[in-house]
Amino acid sequence: MVSSMAMSDYQLKALFSSEGLVSQTLPAFRSRAGQIEFAQAIQASLMQSGDSVIEAETGIGKSLGYLIPVLLSNKRVLISTYTKLLQDQIFHEDLATARKVLASAKKVAVLKGRRNYLCPFKFGQLFKSPSKTLPADALAEVSAIKAWSTRTHTGDLSELEILSTDVMAMITASADECQKRRCPNFDQCPLYAARKQAETADVVIVNHQLLMSRYENPNDDLVELVDQMEVQLIDEADQFLRLLRETKQVAFSFSWMREIAFTLGRINADPQQHDPVLGDWATLLGREQRRFESAYDSVLGRSFSEPVVKAMVLEQIDELELLLGRLTRVLESRLNIGKILRDAHRDLAGQMDKLLAFAADVEEDAQSYWWEQDARGGAAFRSVVPPTAEAMGGELKSSAPKIFVSATLSVDGSFAFISQQIGYDADKAIKVSNAFAYSKQVMGFQSAQRMAPDHPDFIPALLEDLKMLRGLKTLMLFTSHRALAGAASYLATSYQGNLFVQGERPRQRLVQDFKNVTHGFLLGTSSFWQGVDFNGAGVECLVIDKLPFLQPDDPKLIARRRAYELAGLDFFSDYILPDCALKLRQGFGRLIRAEGDQGVFIIGDPRFWNASYSGLLQSSLPQFRWTRSASEALDFMDKR
């Protein structure tokens, strides 16, 4: 057993050498200079008290490269990765391998958001209702879940092969629904069992969405658990920073009205404090909350700078202010009732202050706001975090030192984009290159079609131009579901081979089925650009339909543009273009996964060649040869 203490660079190099412990444990392991350099950089970062930024190119062996130094360190480390699928892969496969290599006895835990765990209380309630209230297919699903619930050790719903959205809502609890320690099933709760394990673990693996909730909701009971870890290692950090850039600030929400209504109703229900006036207010607040929220359905996603929307918002705020003023006077005359009511009065005063500050902002166009409903049915007025390093990085620096790790953190060799977001010195960032010989492993094919990407015939024209290359096993990445649907429709009638289309079956199964065939097409959108394991898939041709620019009519993007302009930044060159370059690199990374891989790369968008900014996008990709000849591309792949 290797003791938990940092090794010297020489010892770490020996560990990853062709005769070292890793090679002895994993017969298929190949020693790579890049992986050794990366592991050494991680170890040095773990010993520092500040943040680190490390770019490790695709194919280095990143997971094992950071897990072994993490297990050797004497620090408690939180590891966050992009998706729940990657989270499970790291926990069940990579971490298990690293622990085996070191014979490590360190305690490790995996933790997900509450919607990933069975709620025993809500699940139990299902069986107290007549079974006829459930449709037949849902009833069958619930029966299968009941059988699973008797044998699962974790209550993690990812263990179930299929789980419909409707049934998921019936068996999981939101933060508002969760009774926490008051719950009669608390001792059997999988979520709190997982959190209890994480509280004492040396290594905890989370996903970016869960980690983001720590920053989005500082009152969440998850904050203390996250902040007690000594280091946060953020894998796929480019995605985490995108989430951070897109973090929406809740400017004002009506959810607190429900909480005050509940408090007043509880006081009224107490025989010793029965007060019908408070009971009436409890009912009124619930009704008014629903009325105010539904009033904004007609302006979902629209900017409040529009005169019609602004007038409506301000009129509604005036109404709410009058209503809450009346309630304030009712509560002030009853402050002697007790602490619960005094707390409600204080909370109400705080909410009125927020409401008035929000109204002033809307009136003066001080920020870009919009009304948004989230997936869980909540609704709020929202704005975006300002793009400055102080605003973005300030929140990050409120918790443990961070190690940002990804294959794509630099744009055209510069770390300025990420550094501007987190307040980091770009000169200190570390870039670890792999041993891929892209000039020998990749050939670019330049399509002859020059149609604009927004033309309705763009996708058919591109696929028609690529007809000669159909014998290659092809992954097509799209920037929109509409483009994917167009390609799927075209290929269904003109291509006789294997066709795998996102949405037709679960994502991991789709990728696995694609891996198991020798030729065919796999079509996917944004979730396939990163976060899906294509190692061993044998992709011979990668097609990206168009440059992955953000949608210009997205209300959040419109709000963010304004925030950048107020900060004196050029929105296109400082945000839109670097973001596109990073996504393009991520997509390209799907093609070459190992030293023996070889493939043809195609981008259909003519702007990659003729736009004023094309030089930056081209130089963000590795150097390799391009051809306009399909025959030459097939010769390169030895497929003629």
Take residue 3 and report the two structure tokens written for it: 């003791």
Phi-psi region of 503 (alpha: psi -120 to 50; beta: other; left: phi over 0): left
- Grouping H, G, I as helix, E, B as strand and the rest as coil, residue 416 is helix
Residue 45: exposure state from Cβ atoms within 10 A (0-12, 13-18, ≥19): buried
Q: Is the pLDDT of residue 380 over 80?
A: no
Contact 623, 438 (CB under 8 A): yes
Question: Mean pLDDT throughout 287-312?
Answer: 79
The pair of three-digit structure tokens given for residue 562, joined into one six-digit string: 């304004």
**Tokens 């909701």 identify what position?**
217
Question: How many whole angstroms separate alpha carbon 242 and alpha carbon 247?
Answer: 8
Tokens of 187: 């001792």
pLDDT average, residue stretch 590-603: 92
Residue 199 in this model has a pLDDT that exceeds 80: yes
Residue 251 — very low, low, confident or very high, per pLDDT cuts 50/70/90? Answer: low
Give 140 or 109, the one with higher predicted confidence.
Answer: 109
> In which band, very low, low, confident or very high, does the pLDDT at 393 lie, cut at 50, 70 and 90?
low
Confirm if 458 and 487 have CB atoms less than 8 A apart.
Answer: no
Q: Which two tokens stand for residue 592?
A: 């070459």
Instruction: Render the burial of 404-426: b for 16+ CB within 10 Å, e for the rest.
Output: bbbbbbbbbeebebbbbbbbbee
Contact 574, 420 (CB under 8 A): yes
Between 365 and 522, the more confident residue is 522
Euclidean distance between CA atoms 161 and 540, whole angstroms: 30
Residue 397 has pLDDT above 70, yes or no: no
Q: Residue 378's closest CA among 179, 558, 117, 174?
A: 174
**Cβ neighbours for 490, distance < 8 A, ≥ 6 positions apart:** 459, 460, 463
Would you kindly state where each structural domain of the chain is located, as residue ranges? 9-112+201-245+388-431, 118-188, 248-384, 438-636
Question: What pLDDT is attached to residue 3?
Answer: 53
Domain 9-112+201-245+388-431, CATH class in plain words: alpha beta
Which candidate, 208, 204, 258, 250, places its Cα nearest to that of 227?
204
Q: In this structure, are residues 403 and 240 in contact, taking their beta carbons and an 8 Å threshold?
A: no
Q: Which residues pair with 279 in a beta bridge?
A: none
Give the model's pLDDT for residue 52: 93
Same fold, 9-112+201-245+388-431 and 438-636: yes
For the stretch 328-347, pLDDT in tens is 898 888 888 877 788 888 88
- 475: helix, strand or coil: strand
pLDDT at residue 11 in the model: 87
Q: Residue 636 pLDDT more than 90?
A: yes
Who wins on pLDDT, 90 or 164?
A: 90
Parallel, antiparallel, or unpaired for β 370-373 and 379-384? Answer: antiparallel
Q: What is the mean pLDDT of the chain?
A: 86
DSSP H or E stretch at residue 395? helix 389-396
CA distance 235 to 257: 39
Is residue 4 over pLDDT 60?
Answer: no
Residue 192: its pLDDT value, please?
A: 93
DSSP SS3 for 52: strand
d(CA 12, CA 35) in angstroms, rounded, equals 11
Model confidence over 25-77: pLDDT tens digits? Answer: 988 888 999 999 999 999 999 998 888 999 999 889 999 999 999 999 999 99
pLDDT at 299 over 80: no
More confident residue, 631 or 137: 631
Residue 381 has pLDDT above 90, yes or no: no
Angle in degrees, CA 520, 588, 68, rounded to 5: 105
Q: Confidence band (pLDDT; 50, 70, 90) for 305?
A: confident
Q: Is 530 left (phi over 0), alpha (psi -120 to 50) or beta?
A: beta
CATH number of 438-636: 3.40.50.300
